[in-house]
Chain A
Amino acid sequence: MSDLTKLKIAEARDLLAKGDLTSRELTEAHIAAVEAADPLNAYIEKTPEIALEQADAADAKIKAGDASGMTGIPVGIKDLFATKGVHTQACSKILDSFKPEYESTVTQKLWDDGAVMLGKLNMDEFAMGSSNETSFYGPVKNPWRAKGSNNDFVPGGSSGGSVASVAGYAAMGATASDTGGSIRQPAAFTGTFGIKPTYGRCSRYGMVAFASSLDQAGTITRDVRDGAIMLESISGFDPKDSTSVDIPVPNFEAALTGDIRGMKIGIPQEYHLAGMPGEIEALWHQGIEWMKAAGAEVVDINLPHTKYALPTYYIVAPAEASSNLARYDGVRYGHRNVPDNGGLVDMYEATRADGFGDEVKRRIMIGTYVLSAGYYDAYYLKAQKVRQLIADDFKRAFEKVDAILTPTAPSAAFAFGEKSDDPLAMYLNDVFTVPASLAGLPGSSVPAGLDSNGLPLGLQVLGKAWDEETVLKVSGVIEQAAAFTSQPELWWR
């Protein structure tokens, strides 16, 4: 094997099991790739010593016949997962130099399975963004460039570091989190596979909270099988999270049968947006043809409240954020600013003024407003009612179909600065991903083609609650039909 970083998780797992490869070799190759990937700015903290220690432990585990899917596999961790003694700031200045005294359940599950941590990954500050431009540590570059161009594009967000590290061969997989599309949209922008499971499937313990009724962990990998392997590792009931649900975790990889004959795939008519690029419509149409060719039945469905999902999200999410982020006050952890002769309230106000970035402040302000006396009913309560209607739309649709197919995002990756001055234009990136987040449903983004500039495009698969297996199965069929083998040029190495 010439370049070990090009291996997929399933391939490496098989080589490790046969003894043809050690986790140390694999990890050393990845540590070098992480170093070389500095121009992408995907990693904001590297942990090579921890990685090598874990690699040796993994090799011992494999020798002892105690290996599972993720044993010895080098991965990157999004900066919002608490990692004991290691940088955890959700890429915000307000958590300056915070090093948790505890481990998130998602990462603990990976380490229990023998996975290897390469470092912490860049993201939009507190996961608030769709381009990774709001990070305190600066933007991440998309490994993909347009044909014949040296211009840089955004990787999407908020899991920008997660997708860039995986697409850029600087991690075999990465943890990510999705509140309104933060796994699926960046996966689409980088030709990677992203899956967000059902709300409650993965523990939120030790995840820096943004909007607790929406936040859910998931994974970024280079193909569907790898996604199934990694998702299984991080899933499962956790008594430390009151919204974690106690149901068994299936063998996700076993769901990849490639057989969707007789399955009903819904096409929501409301997702045909006016002004959507022809290439996105064409890709969606192609996806529909793939479903038919694989023996599935394609059914038009209606999700009537679709157009209200984004405005609903931009009330519910900021409201929860304003409450969750109240804890950053300069008292217990992170950044503190005490003005001369200032009292306690001056300290709070100054600390939060220079600790939070503009987008985070904007959302805290909106959240504070919609929860304030006199406005709560008109905004927040109204939004929670519309949210119920959106969830009901899906419930009715899933009485008729097994999965839903849509584009992941209304465009391919865009240039830096193109949307960062216009919050509403940025929010529209998540138009196809937000509805399922509001309903807590599992969803994936599968690389399905390139646009005319040579940038990746993704298709989104949505499933019933707790039916990640169907999402994975349908994703696998799309992957096979699309035969997406394009790779970014390794211009940064």
Chain B
Amino acid sequence: MSNIDKATVAKIARLARIKIEDEKLEPLAGELNNILGWVEQLGEVNTDDIQPMSSVVDAKLRWRQDEVNDGDKADSVLKNAPNAEYGFFAVPKVIE
């Protein structure tokens, strides 16, 4: 099932937004194939009619009133930003 080549690693890296140098793609393909080859033993398990687990404990997600219960702390939110200006997170120019 899994045969990850250099091009696939480059694609995954792009999806994950992690820059991977060209010479690292091949070794990484080997590592990922090893791990995914090992997990493929799950194919042996018959899972027909089995529902995928959606919650690990038997507990219903709670409802709460739809009302504001926190907020008004922009300074606090921005405090750890690498770059904040005029009450906003600042990033490199996106639109020319």
Contact = CB atoms under 8 A, between A and B. Distances in A.
B19 A199 contact: no
A333 B32 contact: no
A331 B50 CA distance: 41
B68 interface: no
Interface string B35-50: 1101111111101001
Contacts of B15: 368, 372
Interface residues of B, number: 52
B26 interface: no
A200 interface: yes
A334 B53 contact: no
Main secondary structure of the interface of B (DSSP, over half): loop
A15 B13 CA distance: 57
Given A334-B80, A336-B82, A344-B94, A356 B59 contact: no
B71 interface: no
B81 A332 contact: yes
Contact of B53 (A245, A364, A387): A387
A353 B16 CA distance: 10
Interface string B12-27: 1101111110000000
A305 B12 contact: no
Interface of A: 97-101, 198-200, 213-214, 239, 242-243, 245-246, 305, 307-308, 311-312, 314-315, 322, 326, 329-336, 338, 342-350, 352-353, 356, 361-362, 364-366, 368-369, 372, 378-379, 381-389, 391, 423-424, 438-440, 465
Interface of B: 1, 4, 8-9, 12-13, 15-20, 28, 31-32, 34-36, 38-45, 47, 50-54, 56-59, 61-62, 64, 73, 76-77, 79-83, 89, 91-94
29 contacts: A213-B56, A245-B57, A305-B45, A308-B44, A311-B39, A312-B42, A314-B35, A315-B39, A326-B17, A331-B82, A333-B82, A334-B82, A344-B94, A345-B17, A347-B91, A352-B16, A352-B19, A353-B19, A353-B20, A365-B9, A365-B12, A369-B4, A372-B15, A384-B54, A385-B47, A385-B50, A385-B51, A391-B53, A439-B56
